[in-house]
């Protein structure tokens, strides 16, 4: 699906779905661009220059937006190594995928830097062992799946998180619907998931991480919520104990969130077992 062809630039893209609410402080910086008048790379770099604190890679390089380059000639010129070693994030113009990738660095700078850094030795080790450049290890796949299509589910109620682990979707989204606004938040992380949300379809599923928070989390200003999530995720990935393979990520049918699909205001919506699947362990049981 070519989302860029289907959805030309529009400055009010955050109004398309509640999934973009977390992006509003960033989207406001581009509100002056008229429909079909994409901001350019210089505009992206301008926001980076204005940001209160430089966004740094773990290679101690400030993030900089540059045009997409041609085929890399050596390891350091590939996408992830180039970010780590030089801070240069290759970005295509007039491209939603790369635009959302850029925005997520503002939301989760610590986590993005940690994910980027973990890729470097993993790729080097694989190549040194004779592995193929495009055939990633389980940890690399896990990082990529989350970075592209991840979401963070934050809840102050452990029982709601348990419903997700047990794939009890109708109970979560419908029977306990009234509780979600106060006790559960779905924070989209993956830039590809943000892109898909511009033209949503049944089947959109996030590779999620579940985090328990105190009730006071939901009273924090949005940017402080970003910081809380960012610190927790960065610590989890840096420790490297729990997220080692793709199956460690929790599937989450993201359009089940109230209001994230206009049709999900009916109980029958959640009876689609092709989308709201029973889960691995329940099928086995």
Residues 131 and 198 in one domain: no
- Among 139, 163, 190, the domain boundary falls at 139
For 258-284, the pLDDT digits (tens) are: 999 999 999 999 999 999 999 865 433
Residues 109 and 155 in one domain: no
* Tokens describing residue 178: 């009234």
- Contacts for 239 with CB less than 8 Å, ≥ 6 apart: none
Which residues constitute the domain of residue 273?
Answer: 145-284
95: left (phi over 0), alpha (psi -120 to 50) or beta: beta
Exposure pattern of 173-183 as b/e (b: 16+ CB <10 Å)? bbebbeebeeb
CA distance 109 to 218: 21
Q: What is the predicted pLDDT for the residue at 5?
A: 66
Residues 212 and 111 in one domain: no
Give me the chain's average pLDDT, please.
Answer: 93
What φ, ψ does residue 220 adopt, rounded to 5°? Answer: -75, 150
For 13-38, the pLDDT digits (tens) are: 999 999 999 999 999 999 999 998 99
Residues 65 and 132 in one domain: yes
Residue 163 has pLDDT above 60, yes or no: yes
Residues 23 and 93 in one domain: yes
The SS3 assignment for 184 reads strand
Q: What is the predicted pLDDT for the residue at 280?
A: 63
For 183-199, the pLDDT digits (tens) are: 999 999 999 999 999 99
- Contacts for 132 with CB less than 8 Å, ≥ 6 apart: none
- Among 139, 174, 200, the domain boundary falls at 139
């Amino acid at each position: 699906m070519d989302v860029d062809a289907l959805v030309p630039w529009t400055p009010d893209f955050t109004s398309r779905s509640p999934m973009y609410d977390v992006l509003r402080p960033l989207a406001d910086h581009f509100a002056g661009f008229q429909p079909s008048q994409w901001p350019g790379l210089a505009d992206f770099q301008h926001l980076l220059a204005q940001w209160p604190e430089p966004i740094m890679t773990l290679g101690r390089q400030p993030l900089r937006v540059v045009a997409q380059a041609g085929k890399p000639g050596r390891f350091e010129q590939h996408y992830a190594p180039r970010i780590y070693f030089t801070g240069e994030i290759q970005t295509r113009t007039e491209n939603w995928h790369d635009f959302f990738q850029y925005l997520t660095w503002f939301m989760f700078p610590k986590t993005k830097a940690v994910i980027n850094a973990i890729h470097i030795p993993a790729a080097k080790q694989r190549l040194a062992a004779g592995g193929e450049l495009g055939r990633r290890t389980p940890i690399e796949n896990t990082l990529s799946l989350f970075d592209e299509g991840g979401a963070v589910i934050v809840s102050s109620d452990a029982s709601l998180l348990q419903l997700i682990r047990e794939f009890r979707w109708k109970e979560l989204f419908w029977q306990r619907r009234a509780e979600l606004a106060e006790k559960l938040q779905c924070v989209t992380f993956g830039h590809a998931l943000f892109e898909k949300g511009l033209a949503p379809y049944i089947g959109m599923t996030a590779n999620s991480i579940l985090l328990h928070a105190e009730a006071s989390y939901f009273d924090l200003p949005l940017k402080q919520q970003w910081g809380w999530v960012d610190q927790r995720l960065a610590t989890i990935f840096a420790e490297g104990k729990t997220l080692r393979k793709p199956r460690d990520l929790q599937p989450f049918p993201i359009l089940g969130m109230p209001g994230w699909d206009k049709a999900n205001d009916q109980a029958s919506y959640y009876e689609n077992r092709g989308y709201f699947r029973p889960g691995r362990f329940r099928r086995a049981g």
